[in-house]
Structure 1
């Protein structure tokens, strides 16, 4: 697994739809996943202690979770404003019916753009939801005009500005337990 630091993307790791079917996650794996979801920088020996296993066993389990596509990667989340990109938006994109066979190619083109933070392929009325960050409204307008409206595969777009992104608080200890309330 390699990290492309220019876009904070994990390269060579399994994508969400690459998770092996029938992957079994036992109680120890759940503890490891819960701890990593709270703090991906936790030292292996501390992670092993939390899971009640030897550090070498823990390292092997983490590697197995990565290989099986359960853990999709480790990354640093960087505030776009710190990089001069103060304006964030979500852009819903509908593709022309005749262009549907080229959805993968369009996704690759969009994902390579510096403004794109995340790209989601959807079911429903829209085909993609694109999370972008630009320096200002002129940059957002330019992005939409040059990369979406000018693309013959794109039928329509709808842009929503993001005022604030609130992250959920770290999960409780029982959140990954199949016996947790509400499951």
Structure 2
């Protein structure tokens, strides 16, 4: 991967819908070599896909919660059972296996606090091996690429 590939990736990370002609102009290539490089990056797995960033509030998920989860035991079977279960919960937007005070850090999006209470009690805490859940409610999200919600 060279500097041109890095430039292509930087542009695509900000706008995955950019036309090949515009992308080529921004990185200083003609369209054919630019498209060839993008396809090579896709085939190599460097570019894993493209997706829409949906405003959670617009689809009824205006409450974002980060939940730290500790497991009771760390056997392979317990970890596998938890991970299998967590991937089935549509409210979980991201799940990170981490070091520190928790075993997992989840990003959860739901309609409101009663919906999170229901999710916490009836789905998350009911997963195999869960010992504790510590929840952090998001008040505001700041990102250089995404305008924050009011």
User: Shorter-chain-normalised TM-score: which range?
Assistant: 0.7 to 0.9
- The Cα of 1:51 is off from its aligned counterpart by 2.0
Q: Counterparts of 1:37-116 in structure 2 under 5 Å?
A: 37-116=13-92
Q: Is the 8 A contact 1:86 1:135 kept in 2?
A: yes
TM-score by length of 2: 0.85
TM-score by length of 1: 0.71
- The Cα of 1:137 is off from its aligned counterpart by 1.3
Q: Is the 8 A contact 2:63 2:109 kept in 1?
A: yes
Aligned to 1:157: 133
Structure 2 stretches of 5 or more lacking a match? Answer: none
Aligned to 1:147: 123
Tell me how far apart the structure 2 counterparts of residues 123 and 101 of structure 1 sit (CA, whole Å).
19
Out of 161, 166, 173, which is 2:142 matched to? 166
- The Cα of 1:101 is off from its aligned counterpart by 3.8
1:36-83 per-residue CA deviation (whole Å, 9 max, x = no partner) reads 122111101111122222322222211222232322321111111111
Question: Could you say what the CA RMSD is over the residues aligned between the two structures, in angstroms?
Answer: 2.0
Give the SS at the match of 1:97: coil
Structure 1 stretches of 5 or more lacking a match? Answer: 1-24, 171-183
Aligned to 1:137: 113
1:107-130 per-residue CA deviation (whole Å, 9 max, x = no partner) reads 342223221112212122312111
Aligned to 2:2: 26
- The Cα of 1:104 is off from its aligned counterpart by 4.1
- The Cα of 1:98 is off from its aligned counterpart by 4.2
- The Cα of 1:94 is off from its aligned counterpart by 1.0
